[in-house]
Amino acid sequence: MIMLVAIPCCLAFSLYHGIKALVSTYIVSFPDLGLQGIQFKDSPLFPSRAPFSPHRLLLSPSATSSTFLTLPTHYRPTRHLNNIKMMKSLLSTLLLLCTLVSVNAVPVVPLSSTDIKAKSAQGLRLLTLAEGVAPVWKTESQVLDLIRGGKKFFDVTETYEVEKKIASARASGDVSIQQTYAAPSHQTAVKAILATMTSANMQTYLTTLTAFNNRYYKSATGASASTWIANTAKDIATKYGRTDVEVSLFAHSFVQSSIIVRIPGTNTANPRVLLGAHMDSINLSNPTSGRAPGADDDGTGTVNLLEAYRALLQGNFRPTSTVEFQFYAAEEAGLLGSQAIATKYKNDGVAVRGHYQLDMTGYFKPGTKEVMALAPDYIDSSLNEFTKQLITAYASIPWGTDLACGYACSDHASFNKVGYPTTYPFEAVTGNDNQLIHSASDTTSVSGFSWSHSLEFAKVAAAFAYELGI
């Protein structure tokens, strides 16, 4: 392939330099992709960050197969009408393709554990920024810039090697079995449990949770919040005499731990039922010490799980399949907590029946329709259909379909990435959701915050655990 493109590449460079005096050009990089490209001052090839359908650049066409590079949704091509601009666009495109071909012609050498440890010790983080694109190293300040810019990513610094092993096994035929889900059939028992659930309990939990200055994954208060959640789960188990319930801290390389609350099933061979929410928060202006109450993001999801767990224990829930309530650390920093758990479970051969993710459940824009908006991407379609049935059977508000959530959108993506079925109901259709997150203003006093709305997500969580666990 390199020989095939050598002549046109040379020609492109010659023509490019030949018209350089007539046009103003400059070379820019695609830092998100780890690639180099050509862009023009007066009419850039990719000028806008407005969303659009992903573009695929054809790299190696053949009669039987083709190699594509998928550009993320924030790159938009421009149509050039002027002849000079058209020539520049065509030449720049060819130059970009030549660069991409040269990059892709060389096999990517997997990073070694030594490489990762060395760069990590220097304060660098290994991120994947788009599906099918090689990971790139970023400094901590660059990571924060990505978060501030709304760019979602996986931080794979601590899971890269395990993920390679998982990907290799799946490529060799170790694929996940497609799950099927029967319609909800335990309405009497489930509704009795749901009747005991109250927003007052959730408010009590959230009052304590938001009292921490922040729940940043590197802060002392972030670590203390983890301990408080674990102790609260233990207290609930003690209150209802459930000595079988296991509460454990899942340690990471940073000070904040994830928490796993396990209700053991009577048949340990059955796939587990997982429910998750992230318990960390962030103030983008001052991550380490800035005030970040994180009431909605994701205090609501956290207290939803605590209340669902409490109600199930009060109702003497004794599942056949093990049910786990998981509270993830460091979601805001690249889904670190959920990735660590998901990759460990997959590598250990843990089977999962379904994963229910809650990330922001307390707000919908005043004047808009109140729904539970299901993410349509990076989820399991069968589990989504089952969740729709749960909402219809047990919630007082309807389900709706959200806009595409995108790559590495929330913790459900960590489970989807390793082949576990997952579903993600969101507080509102994107655009009608809370715009004051990641700041000191993420509180319950914001106009549009609704405890009754959030309670519906907790009820569906309890129904999810019961219907799949029993």
User: pTM for this one?
Assistant: 0.79
- Alpha-carbon distance of 258 to 117, in angstroms, equals 22
Residue 222 has pLDDT above 60, yes or no: yes
Picking from 34, 28, 14, 47, the residue whose alpha carbon sits closest to that of residue 100 is: 34
**pLDDT at 139 exceeding the cut of 50:** yes
Say which of 155, 332, 380, 456 is annotated catalytic. Answer: 332
Residue 30: the pLDDT is 41
pLDDT tens by residue, 291-335 = 999 999 999 999 999 999 999 999 999 999 999 999 999 999 999
- Higher pLDDT: 423 or 27? It is 423
Q: What is the pLDDT of residue 175?
A: 57
Neighbours of 243 (CB within 10 A): 7
pLDDT of residue 408: 99
Beta bridge pairs of residue 373? 400, 426
* Catalytic member of 438, 442, 456, 467: 438
- Give residue 178's pLDDT: 79
Residue 186 annotated among the catalytic residues of the structure:
no
Q: For residue 296, which of 362, 205, 201, 206 has the smallest C-alpha distance?
A: 362
Question: Which one from 32, 163, 296, 297 is the annotated catalytic residue?
Answer: 297
Domains in the chain, start-ordered, CATH in brackets?
2-105 (no CATH), 113-167 (no CATH), 186-469 (3.40.630.10)
pLDDT at 149 over 90: yes
Beta bridge partners of 25: 40
pLDDT band at 173 (very low <50, low <70, confident <90, very high): confident
Whether the pLDDT of residue 99 is over 80: the answer is no
- Please indicate whether residue 412 is annotated as part of the active site: no
Question: If you average pLDDT over residues 426-443, what whole number do you get?
Answer: 99
**Token pair recorded at residue 368:** 């808009």
Catalytic choice (331, 380, 442, 456): 331
d(Cα 154, Cα 167) in Å, to the nearest integer? 15
- Separation CA 356–CA 276 (nearest Å): 6
Res 47: pLDDT: 34
Consecutive H or E run containing 393: helix 381-394
Across 411-440, average pLDDT? 98
Residues in contact with 465: Cβ distance below 8 Å, sequence separation at least 6, in sequence order: 273, 275, 308, 312, 317, 319, 323, 356
Mean pLDDT of the 239-263 span? 99
pLDDT of residue 171: 81
Residue of 252, 278, 355, 412 marked active site: 278
- ∠ CA 78-131-125, rounded to 5°: 105
Across residues 399-420, what is the average pLDDT? 98
pLDDT at 68 over 60: no
- 17 as an active site residue: the answer is no
* 246 catalytically annotated: no
Residue 98 reports pLDDT greater than 80: no
User: Does pLDDT of 26 surpass 80?
Assistant: no
pLDDT band at 44 (very low <50, low <70, confident <90, very high): very low
Spot the catalytic one: 307, 359, 427, 456: 359
H or E segment to which residue 444 belongs: none
Question: How many angstroms separate the CA atoms of 303 and 301, rounded?
Answer: 6
Higher pLDDT, 39 or 424: 424
More confident residue, 470 or 169: 470
